[in-house]
Amino acid sequence: MSAGVALPLLSACVTGGDDDSDPAAGNSGTKSADNPLGVKADAPLEVVIFKGGYGDEYAKKAGTLYTQKYPAAKIDHQGLQKIGEALQPRFVANTPPDVVDNTGASRLDIATLVASKQVSDLSQLLDAPAFDEPGKTVRDTLLPGVVDDGTFDKVPLTLNFTYTVWGLWYSKPLFASKGWTFPKTWDEMLTLCATIKAAGIAPWTYQGKYPEYINDPLLGMAAKTGGLALVKAVDNLEPNAWKAPGLIGAAEAFAELAGKGYILSGSEALSHTEAQAAWSQGKAAIIPCGSWLESEQKGVTPPNFEMVMAPVPSRTSSEGFKQTAVQAASSESYLVPAKAKNPAGGMEYLRMLFSKQSAKAFAESAGTLPAITGATDGLTLSSGLGSVRDAVTAAGSETFTYRFRTWYAPLAKAVDDATGELVNKRITAVQWSDRIQKAADSIAKDSSVKKYTR
């Protein structure tokens, strides 16, 4: 399952006992310019990595950097798929590893870990000198939004290694052969869709069983109209946030897409792999997805398909964000447990993992954009990854992301369900807005749900 699909979270109790002893006692060294985090040179280090689509070789390479600097330190590296099942008992027992890549379908629920104070504050890591970029801190080397993505109640608790960008994908040679230009405005999109349909191709398809895929361009369009104020109002559960003109306008646009017959018939029943296969077979010209699409389609996409990603078109001329803005967020989430035996070593390992040399090697092997600025400089990139890098460059500081999906799973489901109904012509844009607002109000009033603000 891809990074864009809502994944079940392991939310059972992970609260440790009342043991006040310091498991890190005796495992710190003297801080210096060469050792900014105070690593004890011979302290063992335990690293647990989610071994998913990216494997774990990239993480082992960071371990090699660590042992080169601290040859007396023994590293216990474990690559696992079921992080939650393996580590929940250890968090309960206050015996967690020193570094955890908390990713995958059975990852530990970060909100629960945060509430039970099981995660270390990473401020000193972010403010430490970057491993291989003189004059910069680790914080300085990260792409826009990465620190915020791992911040809870103004404290940075996780650090995400990969950078996902959402947009609309098409085959560059197909568009070139037909003389089509990818649209920048929604009016241009509707005109192009009519042309594509006349050529005997469905203009759009989407991963119908997972309507969050088509939520992304809808919400991206809304943000381009309403700006960061709209995004924050949604995430902060403000009254009537979902009734903002930007959101209703975006819903109307996607209702129009469906109403004009511009979505491949039967898309509602397709899984993400089925919809993406239909697209790569030329049955549809455009598909919404995150930047993992190219690697997920390896072995399926025909030769010379040359998929590229474009930003979502703007619907209005008075924009909150420019048309080049993109929805982007970091993922592959790393943390240092609060009860780790070697937290200084855990943070030092992350300082090396988030180095430019480490990120560059990852970009080459994984075909995915790391969360580190300049990681792809000088590399020959595939068409998809190159277009993602170009989109991030063009967006500059105008990247945005909604956080309600991470913070409030029931609201995310309500949005998904309503959008599925909208693009299958069973409800109107106003009904879509009313349904979601009702769900948001219910969560806002529920005192048992911890609230976050931005």
Which range has highest mean pLDDT (190-194, 359-363, 407-411)?
190-194
Confidence band (pLDDT; 50, 70, 90) for 304? Answer: very high
Confidence band (pLDDT; 50, 70, 90) for 414? Answer: very high
Mean pLDDT in residue range 440-453: 94
Rounded-to-integer distance, Cα 147 and Cα 123, Å: 10
Q: Which two tokens stand for residue 179?
A: 């003389």
Confidence band (pLDDT; 50, 70, 90) for 16? Answer: low
Query: How many residues in the chain?
Result: 454
Residue 2 has pLDDT above 70, yes or no: no
Name which of 174, 197, 192 is nearest 383 in CA terms. Answer: 174
Q: What pLDDT does 109 receive?
A: 85
Question: Is residue 182 assigned to a domain?
Answer: yes
Question: Across the chain, how many H-helices and E-strands are there?
Answer: 17, 11
State the pairing for strand pair 307-310/284-290. Answer: unpaired
Mean pLDDT in residue range 300-305: 93
pLDDT in tens, 336-379: 999 999 999 999 999 999 999 999 999 988 888 999 999 999 99
**Total number of domains constituting the chain:** 1
Q: Is the CB of residue 106 less than 8 Å from the CB of residue 8?
A: yes
Q: What pLDDT does 24 receive?
A: 76
Name which of 177, 169, 181 is nearest 307 in CA terms. Answer: 169
Confidence band (pLDDT; 50, 70, 90) for 8? Answer: very low
Q: Is the CB of residue 235 less than 8 Å from the CB of residue 408?
A: no
DSSP state of 175: H
Residue 389 has pLDDT above 70, yes or no: yes
Residue 6 has pLDDT above 80, yes or no: no
Rounded-to-integer distance, Cα 331 and Cα 78, Å: 20
Name which of 421, 443, 388 is nearest 143 in CA terms. Answer: 388
Distances in whole angstroms, Cα of residue 233 to Cα of each of 228, 322, 400: 8, 19, 13
Confidence band (pLDDT; 50, 70, 90) for 14? Answer: low
Question: Is residue 17 assigned to a domain?
Answer: no
pTM check: above 0.85: no
pLDDT in tens, 239-268: 999 999 999 999 999 999 999 999 999 999
Residue 418 has pLDDT above 90, yes or no: yes
Question: Is residue 425 assigned to a domain?
Answer: yes
Residue 284 has pLDDT above 90, yes or no: yes
Q: Which residues pair with 257 in a beta bridge?
A: none
Question: Is residue 350 assigned to a domain?
Answer: no
CB atoms within 10 A of CB 29: 17
Question: Is residue 381 assigned to a domain?
Answer: no
Question: Is residue 254 assigned to a domain?
Answer: yes
Rounded-to-integer distance, Cα 333 and Cα 35, Å: 24
Q: Which two tokens stand for residue 42?
A: 């011979």
Confidence band (pLDDT; 50, 70, 90) for 1? Answer: very low
Q: Which two tokens stand for residue 141?
A: 């080397």
Mean of the per-residue pLDDT values of the chain: 92
Q: Which residue has the tokens 């098409």?
A: 170
Residue 104 has pLDDT above 90, yes or no: no
- 236 is in which domain, residue-wise? 165-327+403-445
Residue 106 has pLDDT above 90, yes or no: no
Question: Is residue 174 assigned to a domain?
Answer: yes
Question: Is residue 243 assigned to a domain?
Answer: yes
Q: What pLDDT does 131 receive?
A: 97
CATH code of the domain covering residue 437: 3.40.190.10
